[in-house]
Amino acid sequence: MDILIMQISLFVLAVILGIELITKVPATLHTPLMSGSNAISGITLVGALLAAGSGDANSLWVSTLGMVAVALATINVVGGFLVTNRMLQMFSRRR
């Protein structure tokens, strides 16, 4: 129970932090910010890795679902960070 309370505390504090971080953002950065934070939400990759690598002999399903999750999350992470970088490079090129 103690651990759960700690996790909930982390969650609530992170929510407040997330709200405070994004208060005043220039319109130019709305799209990159969205695709960048989108890439961060691919953190679910960590869970996917654990599932795919659990070697659960009881069930091929766990490994298969894990692999699907790894593939999807990797697309999210790799694609997200790369495309954000591509966009931001265009902004910086002319300044």
Partner 1 sequence: MSLSFVNLFYLLSAVLFIGGIKSLTHPRTAVRGNLMAAVGMLVAVVVTLLDQSILSYAWILAGALIGSVVGVLMATRIQMTAMPQMVALLNGFGGGASLAVAVASFLAINGPVAASGVIGMLAVGLTVLIGAITLTGSAVAFGKLQELLPGRAIGFKGITLFNGVMMVVALSIIAALTAGQGGTGLLLLLITIALVLGVTLVIPIGGADMPVVIALLNSYSGIAAAAAGFIMGNTVLIVSGALVGASGIILTRIMCVAMNRSLTGVLFGSISEEGGEQMDADEVYAGKVKSSSPEEISMLLETAQRVVIVPGFGLAMAQAQHAVRDLADTLERRGTEVIYGLHPVAGRMPGHMNVLLAEAEVDYDKMQTMEQVNPHFAQTDVVIVIGANDVTNPMAREDKGSPIYGMPILNVDQARTVVVVKRSLSPGFAGLPNPLFANSNTLMLFGDGKQMVLELAGALNEATPRQAA
State the nearest-atom distance from the C-beta of 20 to partner 1, in Å: 9
Helix, strand, coil distribution of the chain in percent, nearest 5: 85, 0, 15
Of 42, 36, 69, 33, nearest to 54 (Cα)?
Answer: 69
Work out whether 2 is an interface residue with partner 1 (CB under 8 A): no
Orientation of helix 80-93 relative to helix 30-40, angle to 10°? 150
State the nearest-atom distance from the C-beta of 93 to partner 1, in Å: 7
Work out whether 17 is an interface residue with partner 1 (CB under 8 A): yes
Question: Would you give the binding string for partner 1 spanning residues 22-61, x where CB under 8 A is met?
Answer: xxxxxxxxxxxxxxxxxxxxxxxxxxxxxxxxxxx-xx-x
Work out whether 95 is an interface residue with partner 1 (CB under 8 A): yes
Structure tokens at 66: 């894990």
Work out whether 5 is an interface residue with partner 1 (CB under 8 A): no
Work out whether 67 is an interface residue with partner 1 (CB under 8 A): yes
Structure tokens at 67: 């692999």
Work out whether 90 is an interface residue with partner 1 (CB under 8 A): yes
